Amino acid sequence: MRRRLCRAVALAAVLAAGAMVSSPALSADLYDTPTIYDATPVPDQDVFEGWWLGGTIGGASVSYDSAPVSGSVSSNGVLGGVVGGYSWQSGPYVIGVEGDFLASDISGSRRFNGGLNQVSPSINTMADIRVRAGYAVTPRVLLFGTFGGAWANVDLPITGPGGGIRESTFFGWSAGAGAEMALNPNWSARIDYQFTDFDSETVSYPGGKQTFDPDANSFRGSIIYRF
């Protein structure tokens, strides 16, 4: 009986081995080299090209040279609004036009005339339109500079003898620099600095004229959507 059992086991082993060798599908499974998946990403192309629109927020400081007020008037605050434009891209080079409209709360004050009077300038809105030129140091990171024109609407109240409530619109030029990073084909994040030199304006009050010549420094962060 033991001999019969051994013969049966040996016969089953021989039949199984033959079936494995004769089966094309099983042989292919045993000897074919597995396919390796190529996960190398396709390089980005012209990700900064096209129309774009975003929201921006930041802080600013403004210094007013003022006469006959002795010394300058400093003010600080926050600003925020919308920014948008269009960019053309050729390889790593990017050029475009952009503009923004900002609501702001940038205020300060200074006493003069022996403390009898106080001037308290406050910027309500700012806007500018600029040319932007940049270089993409990587397919997704753009360094850029900007230059263009700017304006601001400013309240200029003076309290005390001969004072009054006045406002004026200032025009000037703006220059800055920044960086933008594409998060995906549509969204990007950016930071930038802007210096704005406004022209001087002379404002009449019941007690006489005051001349204001403001300069502004602002830092902004923006989230951009590219269409």
Task: Write the pLDDT tens digit of every residue in 132-153.
Answer: 999 999 999 999 999 999 999 9
Domain count, the chain: 1
Q: What is the pLDDT of residue 113?
A: 87
Alpha helices, DSSP H, located in the chain: 2-22, 24-31
Q: Give every strand in the sheet of 117-119, ordered side by side.
A: 110-112, 117-119, 158-159
Q: What is the pLDDT of residue 50?
A: 96
* Res 186 pLDDT > 80: yes
Mean pLDDT along residues 151-170: 95
Q: Give the span between the Cα atoms of 102 and 174, in whole angstroms.
A: 14
* Average pLDDT, rounded, for the chain: 85
Q: Give the span between the Cα atoms of 170 and 140, in whole angstroms.
A: 37
Assigned domain for 85 exists? yes
Assigned domain for 35 exists? no
Assigned domain for 15 exists? no
* Res 65 pLDDT > 60: yes
- Per the structure, the complete domain to which residue 173 belongs is given by 50-226
Assigned domain for 36 exists? no
pLDDT band of residue 2 (cuts 50, 70, 90) is: very low
Burial category of 132 from C-beta neighbours within 10 Å (exposed 0-12, middle 13-18, buried 19 and up): buried
Assigned domain for 32 exists? no
CB burial readout 199-223, b (16+ within 10 A) else e: eebebebeeeebebbbebebebebe
Assigned domain for 21 exists? no
Assigned domain for 7 exists? no
- Per-residue pLDDT of 97-125, as tens digits, reads 999 999 999 999 999 888 899 999 999 99
* Res 160 pLDDT > 50: yes
Stated pTM of the model: 0.77
Domain of 206, CATH number, reads 2.40.160.20
* Res 41 pLDDT > 60: no
Q: Give the span between the Cα atoms of 89 and 98, in whole angstroms.
A: 14
Q: What is the pLDDT of residue 72?
A: 86
DSSP 185: S
Residue 30 token pair: 């045993």
Q: What is the pLDDT of residue 1?
A: 43
- Per-residue pLDDT of 18-34, as tens digits, reads 444 444 443 444 445 55
Q: What is the pLDDT of residue 114?
A: 86
pLDDT band of residue 226 (cuts 50, 70, 90) is: very high
Assigned domain for 191 exists? yes
What is the CA angle 199-172-166, rounded to 5? 55
